[in-house]
Structure 1
Amino acid sequence: MKTLEELDACYRAMPPVAAMGIESTGWDGQRLRLRAPLAANINDKGTVFGGSMASIATLAAWGLLTLRLGAEGIKAEVYVADSQLKYLKPLVADLGAEAWLDEGTDWDAFLRSYRERGRARAQLLARVTDPEGATVAEFSGRFAALRAP
């Protein structure tokens, strides 16, 4: 995947993700931004469902790694290995997410490992935001890229 259009088509092809109404809003080669409407992600308290926050953060990080690999001409299978999410406050509005590589991740070493061994791991970070850009949840996840069959 190399474009936001391809990424959005992939999101729409996954029924649970399509139900959330997730769409990409920006990609600068280093950071990916997504959004989703409150109406499709609301819980019994009238706030964003915690699972939706976890999902959009995970999908932002997954999408970022997928796009960065695509920009390198690499078609890999990307999987989340483990993750952690810290909820900071409830959200009563549409949600956004922004993902980026953890500064401790050496992209060149990641690519070298992938090219030599057919697999590599990277640490990614994301934040879930309200419409004004305030952080409502913080995500950290370790992702694996495996050579596509």
Structure 2
Amino acid sequence: MTTPRQPGVPHPRLPLPKGPEDLTAFQQWLGEAIPMVNTLGIKGMAQQHDTLIWELALTPSLNDKGTGFGGALTAQTTLQGWCWVTLWLRAQGTSRDVVVAEASQRFIAPVTDDYRLVCAPSEPEGPAKLTAKLDERGKGRIALTQQLYCGETLCLEANGSYAVLP
């Protein structure tokens, strides 16, 4: 059993993978590093090219109306962007601190059932620009877009700027 997290004490980093990322192991580590992750209803993660996809259960994020609670959905989109950058860095063979610098959300339709979150760079050249900034300055930012779908309905679109620290 692991010791509960304590304020001000960083959680140990997950060792870099020696091949493709094991997303199950990453999700387990994520739940230890950020305790609230275990209550977000993440059923699974997948990567396709420059896209990170999560499948989520609605029940842990219900509001008083029986639909998705905006605060929980916002936390999920912010976390997913952080995970995208962290996983991207790990695929480059590096482990760095990542923080969200800016985030915004647009709620389009109510979330009424289990859903999926899709996260990708806001611009196709985003990863290449981030690589160049990291090489040039040792730090950089990337803009990501998260889209939440309930079935085929787009319910939420979020945008975030994530910083990789030196």
In the superposition, the TM-score normalised over structure 1's length comes to 0.88
Show structure 1 runs of 5+ residues with no match: none
Deviation at 1:104, TM superposition (A): 6.0
Secondary structure class of the residue paired with 2:53: strand
The answer for the alignment partner of 1:67 in structure 2 is 87
The answer for the alignment partner of 2:159 in structure 1 is 140
Q: Which has the larger radius of gyration?
A: 2
Q: Distance in 1 between matches of 2:43 and 2:153?
A: 19
The answer for the alignment partner of 1:3 in structure 2 is 22
Number of matched pairs? 146
What amino acid is aligned across from residue 145 of structure 1 in structure 2?
V
**Deviation per residue, 1:109-131 (Å, 9 max, x gap):** 3112213322110100110111x
- The 3 A distance-change label for structure 1 pair 117 and 85 is same
Contact 1:110–1:121 (8 Å) recurs in 2: yes
Q: Distance in 2 between matches of 1:120 and 1:23?
A: 31
Q: Distance in 2 between matches of 1:30 and 1:23?
A: 20
Match of 1:100 among 108, 115, 120: 120
Secondary structure class of the residue paired with 2:147: strand
Deviation at 1:52, TM superposition (A): 1.7
Q: Which moved more, 1:19-28 or 1:38-47?
A: 19-28
Contact 1:88–1:137 (8 Å) recurs in 2: yes
The answer for the alignment partner of 2:76 in structure 1 is 56
The answer for the alignment partner of 2:9 in structure 1 is none
**Deviation per residue, 1:18-72 (Å, 9 max, x gap):** 1112243310231001122111111111111111211221122111111111111
What amino acid is aligned across from residue 163 of structure 2 in structure 1?
A
Q: Distance in 1 between matches of 2:155 and 2:121?
A: 19
**Deviation per residue, 1:88-121 (Å, 9 max, x gap):** 0111111220000111653223112213322110
In the superposition, the TM-score normalised over structure 2's length comes to 0.80
The answer for the alignment partner of 1:26 in structure 2 is 46
Secondary structure class of the residue paired with 2:165: strand
- Give the % identical residues: 26
Hey, which bits of structure 1, 4+ residues long, moved more than 4 A? none
The answer for the alignment partner of 1:76 in structure 2 is 96
